[in-house]
Structure 1
Amino acid sequence: MTLSVAVADLPGLIEPGKWVFVPGSSGAPQAFMEALQSSQENSRDLRLLTTYVPGINALDMTRFHSSAQITGLFMQPGLGEAQRDGRYRHLPLSYAGFNRHLADAVDIDLLVIQVSPANSHGQCSLGPAVEFVSTALRKSRRTLALINRQTPYLENSLSLSYTSFDYVCEVDTPLPTYAPDCNPDALAIARHIAPLIPNGSALQLGLGKVPTALSKSLCNHQGLRLYSGMLSDGFLELAKAGALDEKFAHTACVLVGSQSLYEKSLDWPNLTVRGCETTHDPRTLLALTPFVSVNSALEVDLFGQCNLEHANGRCISGAGGAPDFARAAKLSAQGVSIVALNASLGTGRGSRIVPRLSSNAVTTLTRVDVDYLVTEHGVASLAGASVHERAHAIISIAAPEFRTELSQAWASIAEHL
């Protein structure tokens, strides 16, 4: 039997010490989280597993009871102290790795999801965010569905029967939006990337300034097939320009962007939202030819190792799906793995291209996962290049004021190779 629960009573569904799973991005059940955090006592001995995404879903540990423990796939600024004292646990896993972890090692007591109102057949759509819900459903003892009036019913998203839910709660909550700006450096980087992407490519784009700019730079392409972890408003821009393959099921595990994206997604029957067990599955990705992956980095060294997670010595994000997509693009027939970044931190602030990754940084993408590095100063082709050739190519796209310093550093490193 499906029980209806008021928002104020939602925290009462949590059993202390047992796992609650809360998805992130545009599928974040915000009404549940607000109810949970309305009093710190609600989260006493809470064990929360979440895929909240930095820049889209904020986590504030001060709103939870000191006995609560939250486990997440991403770090966020401000969570460092909570991680050090064990209240926040960051899992260093890619999306594919987390999906396996969820399937093999986690038993969920309560799964909290957000869905559309039921259609005439009693089916509720997960709308713009499926993410890990398909896998979590198989591992959860109970399911709470927030029936959100503002979640669109997408025909090509996962739908669930209203009667399959243990609890339902009627809410009317705006979906999280995401709208990165597009600056001149990002546009310059995008113009360098565009020629590397053949017409007809299956294309993965991350989120951020460069992917936003790249969507603008690809409007004259033809037959592009989007297959990504997350798709944003760039999909609408490319569709309007006629750059997409109209017969292909353009696919993501999450749509996250403007309110217009959520509304207009209803007009595109070939826009598909699937779970990460599909979108990040290496067998699926390897079958997409040619598959081109474009990801951003915070720091790259002269070996071609890429740090996507640490800035200024602190972890601020997670690997996300970048390792899954980059490795698949590198190994697929005619595939291309591209990593893009600004060459510098800003005037007088230092270079993002460094001799070696910082001692307190991590290697998110190894040097064997990247074909091209791109900055606003050009393209470094790494595929088929020797260690020394790669280093010189990378130096050539660094900010000009740092190239001499980088060349001297490489000369010192090369003495020990």
Structure 2
Amino acid sequence: MNVNKKYQEKLVTIPEAVSKVKSNQKVVIAMAASEPQGLLHELENRSDELENVNIVSCLMMGDYNFLKPEMKGTFLNETWFYGPADRENHKHGNVTYIPNNLHEAGMKKLENDNLNIFWGTATPMDENGYFSLSLGLTYEKMMVENKNTMVVLEINENLPWTLGDTQVHISQVDHIVENTVPLIEVPPIEPGEEEKKIGEYVAEMIEDGSTLQLGIGGIPNAIAHSLRNKKDLGIHTEMFTDGMVELFKEGVITNQKKTLWKGKMVGTFAMGTKKLYDFIDTNLAVEFQQGNVTNDPYIIGQNHKMVSVNTALQVDLTGQVCSEAIANKHYSGTGGQVDTHRGAQRSEGGKGIIALRSSAKNGEISTIVAELPAGSKITLGRNDIDYVVTEYGAAHLKGKSIRERVDAMIGIAHPDFRDELREKADKLKLW
């Protein structure tokens, strides 16, 4: 096969690729920093010709015109995880959430829905006809391999070539467009004093030789900073972040004590800054695997001393965790929280940790509540909970009675709300 000839045969302009979309179809796009910016920006130009087109996404980072209020009825974003613009566009009726656990999201969608087109991003092709899917492998490879889906790749010369299961051959692609644009970057959030204290508590719980799953935000950044005196840590995560780069360069992350993929950091997507993207480019110490692998609780549980750290919006006194919505106002999504929290507890010496500040809105409200507000979505049930950490300490709830849990949770609540929580616990006869 002459791969360069095949490439030219499949190369089209962005408008030509978007013209393949028909009314009543579903178009799956690559997630987060992998999203095809050129194709998505072009979509609004088809608004007069189309109706009832669903874009299936996950953590969409751009604010695209095809989801503006006037586009209602033409385009709908079905998403596994709300991005920054989705919370606003939801008000217009242009966004809807797909309940899921990350490790099975792609397969469930393929098995139970009719998906017509996949839009992904990839590096330029090598001399053997292969592309790298680069920053995202959560469900993207699965969509490429689905025989009933038209595959369109947006080639961006700025994307890093990543290793693992990221390779796709020209023969698997229907159309190619070229669009070299700056990569989507998310600067690290500088942790505040509360986050730093949480980071210290969590770091105390992580033993040398542990394998970690960390997310993004002020709390995970604070945890990463507090881990600098640890030894031989490993990474088995859903998301690669900037904080992991620093720990690797300082010799804290060696991956030498890992049970699986020894010597390698393993994850399913990356989102951060150019520092992260440069680090993972052709880095033999970094391997991408599909989300149904990295986030399978059974696989996670095979890691020795696996520690999963996730954040939440609210936790009630019995250990029910709400991480994706504030009452009926949807905020983010389940993502891999349930996957990794359960998986870590399958591990010998493992821990599942939920970390959050004890208050919100400048101390006006408690995030530790006697009962979750009406309409709240339970991300992690109390049957699955292990540890909850705030800036006031760690509550170990696994195997504990409701009475013991209430006492432990009040102990890590903000002092300004503890008396109120005790009174509410009495009224609810929780102890």
Instruction: Provide the aligned C-alpha RMSD in A.
Output: 1.9
2:219 aligns with: 210
Cα distance in 2 for partners of 1:138, 1:42 equals 29
1:149 matched to 2:157? The reply is yes
Task: Letter of the 2:34 partner, please give it.
Answer: G
Q: Offset of 1:376 from its aligned partner?
A: 0.9
Relative distance call for 1:303 and 1:65 in structure 2 (3 A) is: closer
2:89 aligns with: 79
Contact residue 204 and residue 325 of structure 1 kept, 8 A? yes
Q: Offset of 1:256 from its aligned partner?
A: 0.6
1:138 matched to 2:153? The reply is no
Relative distance call for 1:333 and 1:183 in structure 2 (3 A) is: same
Relative distance call for 1:23 and 1:392 in structure 2 (3 A) is: same
Q: Offset of 1:398 from its aligned partner?
A: 0.7
Q: Offset of 1:268 from its aligned partner?
A: 3.2
Contact residue 158 and residue 274 of structure 1 kept, 8 A? yes
1:359 aligns with: 374
Match of 1:400 among 415, 418, 421: 415
2:177 aligns with: 169
Cα distance in 1 for partners of 2:163, 2:266 equals 13
1:338 matched to 2:346? The reply is no
Tell me, what secondary structure is at the counterpart of 1:156? coil
TM alignment of 1:20-31, pairs within 5 A = 20-31=27-38
Match of 2:274 among 230, 238, 259: 259
TM alignment of 1:228-239, pairs within 5 A = 228-239=237-248
Cα distance in 1 for partners of 2:292, 2:130 equals 22
Cα distance per residue 1:40-79 (max 9 Å; x no partner): 32653312211134xx344662173523233111243113
Task: Letter of the 1:34 partner, please give it.
Answer: H
Task: Letter of the 1:410 partner, please give it.
Answer: A
Tell me, what secondary structure is at the counterpart of 2:216? coil
Cα distance in 2 for partners of 1:252, 1:137 equals 19
Cα distance per residue 1:174-202 (max 9 Å; x no partner): 22111223222111110010011111111
Cα distance in 1 for partners of 2:417, 2:49 equals 52
2:14 aligns with: 7
Tell me, what secondary structure is at the counterpart of 2:359? coil
Contact residue 219 and residue 237 of structure 1 kept, 8 A? no
Task: State the identity %.
Answer: 25
Cα distance per residue 1:92-139 (max 9 Å; x no partner): 111123133134213322111100001222211011211201221232
Match of 2:200 among 171, 181, 191: 191
Contact residue 143 and residue 149 of structure 2 kept, 8 A? no
Task: Letter of the 1:218 partner, please give it.
Answer: L
Contact residue 309 and residue 316 of structure 1 kept, 8 A? yes
Cα distance in 2 for partners of 1:94, 1:149 equals 32
Task: Letter of the 2:232 partner, please give it.
Answer: G
Tell me, what secondary structure is at the counterpart of 1:277? helix
Task: Letter of the 1:45 partner, please give it.
Answer: N
Q: Offset of 1:39 from its aligned partner?
A: 5.1
Cα distance in 2 for partners of 1:78, 1:37 equals 18
Contact residue 27 and residue 130 of structure 1 kept, 8 A? no
2:291 aligns with: 276
TM-score (norm 1): 0.93
What runs of 5+ residues in structure 1 fail to find an aligned partner?
Answer: none
Cα distance in 2 for partners of 1:156, 1:213 equals 29
TM-score (norm 2): 0.90
Tell me, what secondary structure is at the counterpart of 2:428? helix
Which is further off, 120-129 or 266-275? 266-275
1:201 aligns with: 210
Tell me, what secondary structure is at the counterpart of 2:230? coil
Contact residue 302 and residue 394 of structure 1 kept, 8 A? yes
What runs of 5+ residues in structure 2 fail to find an aligned partner?
Answer: 1-5, 257-262
Which is further off, 271-280 or 299-308? 271-280
Tell me, what secondary structure is at the counterpart of 1:79? helix
Tell me, what secondary structure is at the counterpart of 2:145? helix
Cα distance per residue 1:221-272 (max 9 Å; x no partner): 1111111111110111110121112442211110110011111222631111
Q: Offset of 1:274 from its aligned partner?
A: 1.4
Relative distance call for 1:64 and 1:11 in structure 2 (3 A) is: farther
Contact residue 249 and residue 271 of structure 1 kept, 8 A? yes
2:126 aligns with: 119
Cα distance in 2 for partners of 1:17, 1:384 equals 49
1:410 aligns with: 425
Cα distance in 2 for partners of 1:185, 1:89 equals 33
Task: Letter of the 2:223 partner, please give it.
Answer: L
1:350 aligns with: 365
Contact residue 128 and residue 157 of structure 1 kept, 8 A? no
TM alignment of 1:254-333, pairs within 5 A = 254-266=269-281, 268-311=283-326, 313-333=328-348
Relative distance call for 1:274 and 1:74 in structure 2 (3 A) is: same
Task: Letter of the 1:292 partner, please give it.
Answer: V
Tell me, what secondary structure is at the counterpart of 1:47? strand
Cα distance in 2 for partners of 1:299, 1:232 equals 24
1:160 matched to 2:175? The reply is no
Q: Offset of 1:331 from its aligned partner?
A: 2.9
